[in-house]
Structure 1
Amino acid sequence: MPTLSRLVALSTVAILGVAGQALAHAQLTKNVPADKATVATSPAELDLHFSEELDIKFSGVKVTGPDKAMVKTGDAMLMDEGKTLMVPLPEMLGPGAYAVEWHVLSTDGHKTNGTYGFTVKP
């Protein structure tokens, strides 16, 4: 039955190949401020750390504050060998809840996105 064992081997390789591709997406591993955190003062920047190197041209964030008002952000830049997206916040954030919507493209071509939130104390 060499044919059956060859079929099993090929199936295993195919399954592992698909699983490897699924793991290749850039996943958010840490963010500052942290999700659901309450911070005492307005952060000067947002730092989003990912598991993969990013393509800055196709990566960014949108921040909304209290009453769904858009928050002005500076130009995003990459740090930590391209795995951290740093987004300056040029204006002080007032007290309230903020939502961060992010989208990134890893250098291997996979897109991911997500949201998180934090609160600035009154």
Structure 2
Amino acid sequence: MKASKNKLIAPVVATLAIALTPAIAFAHGKLESAEPPVNGTVSTAPGVLRLTFNEDLEPTFSTIKVADASGASVGDEKAKVDPANKRVLTLAVPKLAAGTYSVQWAVMTGDSHKAKGTYKFSVN
């Protein structure tokens, strides 16, 4: 009888452990907001792109690349993690002409998780 109770208790304990584990343990870097906005249109070309994530970033392994509609790279600056807010990654860009631009980002968070993504924005 004791062995059968242990067989029933083990799955219950395992389920509770998983359910009660904080969600942050399973989190990965996620883009929360961007300036210019994801799939947005701006009337004035930005001088700096500003991407905000849900976790602190590792500067050495966090990048942003911008390309114009033809796929040509825009600018040669490197992305920088904001020292005042390590969840913010910025990239200075040259004056952008009207058109659509692709932003490709890749980050590593403080807990060594990697994430990447792309989005577009347009300048009128």
Which segments of structure 1 move beyond 6 Å, counting only runs of 4 or more?
A: none
2:84 paired with 1:66: no
Q: Tell me the equivalent position of 2:85.
A: 81
State whether structure 2 residue 39 is matched by structure 1 residue 57.
no
Identity of aligned residues (%): 32
Distance in 2, matches of 1:75 and 1:60, equals: 7
- Per the alignment, in what secondary structure is the counterpart of residue 85 of structure 1? strand
Q: Which amino acid aligns with 1:81?
A: N
Letter in 2 for 1:88: A
Secondary structure of 1:117's match? strand
> What does residue 14 of structure 2 align with?
10
Which of 18, 22, 30 is the matching residue for 1:27? 30
Q: Distance in 1 between matches of 2:98 and 2:57?
A: 31
Q: How many residues align?
A: 119
SS of the residue corresponding to residue 70 of structure 2 reads: helix
Structure 2 residues without counterparts, runs of 5 or longer? none
Q: Counterpart of 2:32 in structure 1: which amino acid?
A: T
> What corresponds to 1:120 in structure 2?
123
Gaps of 5+ in 1: none
Give the root-mean-square deviation of aligned CA atoms.
Answer: 2.0
Q: What's the offset of the Cα at 1:13?
A: 1.4
Deviations 1:68-114 (A, max 9, x none): 1111142322224300001111x111111000010000010100001
TM-score (norm 2): 0.85
